[in-house]
A and B are shown apart, each in its own frame.
Chain A
Amino acid sequence: MHFLNGITILLVYQLVGEVTVRLFGLTIPGPVLGMILLFITLVIRGGAGKALDSATGALLGRLSLLFVPAGVGMMVYFSRIMNEWLPIAMALVLSTVVTMVVTALTMVGVQRLMAKRSRDDG
């Protein structure tokens, strides 16, 4: 019963997210708004509870399975991927490396800046 109650809660938040996004013409996906609303609820309530933990564990524990049906859709785009393999491969590898380096160095830099400032103040 926990799992069913948990999945119901998740679906209700998704539904509220989807309806709100359409109502106000927002550009974020409905489930993301649902996630934000659920997060706010958890902060206010101070915990997820057994039902949500059970459904979340089941869904996120096998998250990769959920990508499969969409991924199989690449058979529809096979010729596109073959035609554009070079830009796709370059973009994926180089951009992933650059993103990792920039994110890590920015965080290290800001941490050093804050440590220096608190030393100067103290």
Chain B
Amino acid sequence: MVETDLAQIWVYLHTSPLLGLTVTLLTYGVAHRLYVWAGNNPLLNPVITTIGMLIVFLLLTDTSYEEYFEGGQFIHFLLGPATVALAVPLYEQLPRLRAVWIPVLVALVAGVLVGALSSMAIAWVFGASPETILSLAPKSVTAPVAMGISEEIGGLPSLTAVLVVVTGIIGALLGTKLFEWLRIDDDGVKGIAMGVSAHGIGTARAFQVSPMMGAFSGLAMALSAFATAVLLPGMIDLVRAVFPGLLS
């Protein structure tokens, strides 16, 4: 009797949002503790470890992604309001922005165009499929916006989410060394470059260097989210018009 009861409970859990939601929050809690314990080591970024642990859990318990997402959707839904909320830090950086808006704007447009086009071109050269190329294009933008853009241009939003997180970690790992090598001391410049190329994860790293670099990185992250959302769909249309068949 006990055995059938357990089986029934498991059937219930598989079809209820409760399991996916609870297990996501519990796993993230463990992953975050691990990250703090390792001295905020970017390789143990809580997003990556949580995703890894959850995938192992789902595979071991033979739970499909669709069943998991019954619960996961409640957290996923908050990406929308979180994107709207980016207006608040952007507003708070307004006085800083007024002083340097021309160089910031030019660098931002250059960074957004180079970021999207270079990732697509490199992926194409190494033989990636059209969906992968399109999923890579918004890789430098904060995930909620990148996923929206990916869906818009014909990429795979979930794949984009993963690529965005990995991009942020790469930027956070390489950024400071790269600026040292380029002999750039200006924390404003470093922050803008970090935010444009490595969004929120890069911004978290920038705050560890200095408050000014962090503020500029946050500003660049929000502005490049605007700029990419506005520029990228048109750019993709242009690529499709000039090279018919390349992205389909």
Using CB atoms and an 8 Å cutoff, list the residues of chain A in contact with chain B. Answer: 7, 10-11, 13-14, 17, 27-32, 34-36, 38-39, 42-43, 48, 52-53, 55-56, 59-60, 63-77, 80-81, 84, 86-88, 90-108, 110-111, 114
Interfacial chain A residues near B196, Cβ < 8 Å: 99-100, 103
Interfacial chain B residues near A56, Cβ < 8 Å: 85, 88-89
Contact of B243 with A by CB under 8 A: no
Known: A64-B200, A96-B198, A110-B102. A38 touches B123 (CB 8 A): no
Among A17, A74, A105, residue most surrounded by chain B Cβ atoms (within 10 Å): A74
Interfacial chain A residues near B140, Cβ < 8 Å: 95-96, 99
Q: Report the separation of the CA atoms of residues A71 and B53 in the bound assembly, to the nearest whole angstrom.
A: 12
Using CB atoms and an 8 Å cutoff, list the residues of chain B in contact with chain A. Answer: 20, 24-25, 27-28, 45-47, 50-51, 54-55, 58-59, 65, 68-69, 72-73, 75-76, 78-91, 94, 100, 102-104, 106-108, 110-111, 114-115, 118-120, 122-129, 131-132, 136, 139-140, 142-145, 147-149, 151-152, 156-159, 161-167, 170-171, 174-175, 178-179, 182, 184, 186, 188-190, 192-194, 196-198, 200-201, 220, 222, 225-226, 229-230, 233-234
Q: Report the separation of the CA atoms of residues A36 and B87 in the bound assembly, to the nearest whole angstrom.
A: 7
Interface of A is mostly: helix
Q: Report the separation of the CA atoms of residues A45 and B157 in the bound assembly, to the nearest whole angstrom.
A: 35
Question: Contact partner of A103 among B83, B110, B120, B156, CB < 8 A?
Answer: B110
Interfacial chain B residues near A87, Cβ < 8 Å: 122-128, 132
Sorted from nearest, which 9 A-B pairs have the closest CB atoms?
Answer: A73-B158, A29-B148, A69-B72, A103-B111, A87-B126, A107-B107, A87-B128, A31-B83, A70-B161
Q: Are A95 and B115 in contact (CB under 8 A)?
A: yes
Of all chain B residues, which has the CB nearest A103?
A: B111
Interfacial chain B residues near A7, Cβ < 8 Å: 81
Q: Are B182 and A101 in contact (CB under 8 A)?
A: yes
Of all chain A residues, which has the CB nearest B160?
A: A70
Distance in Å: Cβ of A63 to nearest Cβ of chain B:
6
Distance in Å: Cβ of B190 to nearest Cβ of chain A:
7
Distance in Å: Cβ of B222 to nearest Cβ of chain A:
8
Of all chain A residues, which has the CB nearest B78?
A: A66
Q: Are B47 and A103 in contact (CB under 8 A)?
A: no
Known: A88-B132, A92-B119, A114-B102. A69 touches B73 (CB 8 A): yes
Known: A10-B84, A31-B84, A70-B157. A106 touches B123 (CB 8 A): no
